[in-house]
Structure formats: C-alpha cells, structure tokens
Amino acid sequence: MKQMLANEVETLRNQGKELSIIDVRETDEVAAGKIPGAVNIPLGLLEFRLQDLDKSEEHIVVCRSGGRSSMAANLLEERGYKVINMAGGMNEWQGPTE
C-alpha cells in the first residue's frame, strides 16, 4: 500500500493540486476539524459508499492516527481503487482545518 506523510499531502495542497481526500473518522471526530475539502465517510460506512468514489482517481485516506485509514486503504485497494494512506493521520497534520 502506498503511504504519504501529512506534510507531503499539505505540500501538494499548497501547490494547488486537486486531491481526493477521504476522512474515515467518525462524524464527531471530524467536527473538531478536517483537512479542507476532505470528504467524511466513516470507516463503517465506506463499503456502502463505494459508488460515490471515482475509480479513475487516486484517493488519499486519512483518520486520527493511521490505523483506520490503513484498513480503509486495504478495503479500497481490494476493490480496485487507487489509494494512498496518510501515515500518522490527523495527529501529524499541521496544515489548516475546516
């Protein structure tokens, strides 16, 4: 599975790259702040929302510390999606949140 550090994701955002970021934390966790533009799909609902994700795009998956996003990335990879796990999750994120 491909991994990317939080500061690498932030650098891509700052360069104006169009990123598909999926935040798999629970709704109450996301309420405390998420990466701007990230889509919240809690891990437990991910399987039921696959039709909402574009298979031709690469998706960056994020959670609090990297565990759930790792599971989500494996699930998506098994279904034929292109995925990058953001190592360290939001604990490592230094950029802006919304």
* Catalytic residue numbers, as ranges: 63
Q: Give CA–CA dist 49/77, Å, rounded.
A: 15
Which of 22, 20, 75, 28 is CA-nearest to residue 47?
Answer: 75
Asked if residue 85 lies in contact with residue 73, where contact means CB atoms within 8 angstroms, the answer is yes
